[in-house]
Amino acid sequence: DIVLTQSPALAVSLGQRATISCKTNQNVDYYGNSYMHWYQQKPGQQPKLLIYLASNLASGIPARFSGRGSGTDFTLTIDPVEADDTATYYCQQSRNLPFMNTFGAGTKLELK
Amino acid sequence: EVQLVETGGGLVQPGNSLKLSCATSGFTFSTAWMNWIRQTPGKRLEWLAQIEDKSNNYFISYLESVKGRFTISRDDSKSSVYLQMNNLKEEDTAIYYCTPLNNSGDYFDYWGQGVMVTVSS
């Protein structure tokens, strides 16, 4: 089974860069695409898509958010971090279908 | 504007049943592959079930641990998807979300607000 590993938490200062990682134990690349996606979830809200296919910004998402990576190592970067960015960030793979073990456990972003 | 509204949650005793509904609008429901995903009290997101569209014979997939207890269905005339949950267990306590699959990359770009299901005696 595919396993997605995220660090539980990250603390950064306002205006600084936040880098959130997601590592998989299997390659999620396929025919030139990396099937890795990122979501933001604020308390009491549903998840919101930020990044799809590793590096594509979802509609309406500010350019402060970016994604990169391939194979088994992926990162979500927020630069600069704003107060409104405090949330939990989840990665999701879709290389292995159906969607068993599709989500990481989430990284909670906090401000220092 | 895409809207997904989940209803039907509540408090239920272990062993009992519950049926969730998800009413949708703002996209072509008949060609959408619909999914149910839940979020546990520990905040873990867990995919549960998917039902494909008519052109794919409404093919259904389930998470192994809910197979035989949960049943996903859809009514294209009502733009709605359902989740029948039987023999509920305390570990089924979660917020349940419905979401259409974006087939271009197999990700979930729209989510409902979710509905809470609590299984407790």
Measure the CA–CA gap between B42 and A35, rounded to whole angstroms. 25
Q: Nearest C-alpha of chain B: how many angstroms from A19?
A: 21
Q: Is the pLDDT of residue B113 over 80?
A: yes
Q: What percent of chain A has pLDDT over 70?
A: 100
Measure the CA–CA gap between B40 and A46, rounded to whole angstroms. 13
Average pLDDT value for chain B? 97
Q: Which of B29, B67, B33 is nearest to B51 (CA)?
A: B33
Q: Nearest C-alpha of chain B: how many angstroms from A38?
A: 9
In the predicted model, what is the mean pLDDT of residues A38-47? 97
- Which residues does B41 contact at the CB level (< 8 Å), separation at least 6? B93, B94
Q: Is the pLDDT of residue B99 over 80?
A: yes
Question: Is the CB of residue B28 less than 8 Å away from at least one CB of chain A?
Answer: no
CB spacing of B106 vs A35 below 8 angstroms:
yes
Q: What is the DSSP string of B18-36?
A: EEEEEEEESS-GGGPPEEE
Instruction: List, in sequence order, the alpha helices (H) in chain A.
Output: none
The pLDDT tens digits for B79-89 are 999 999 999 99
The pLDDT tens digits for B19-48 are 999 999 999 999 999 999 999 999 999 999
Nearest to B107 among A46, A52, A88 (CB): A52
Q: What is the per-residue pLDDT for A97?
A: 79
Q: Nearest C-alpha of chain B: how many angstroms from A82?
A: 23
Question: Is the CB of residue A88 less than 8 Å away from at least one CB of chain B?
Answer: yes
In the predicted model, what is the mean pLDDT of residues B8-14? 98
The pLDDT tens digits for A52-97 are 999 999 999 999 999 999 999 999 999 999 999 999 999 999 988 7
Average pLDDT value for chain A? 96
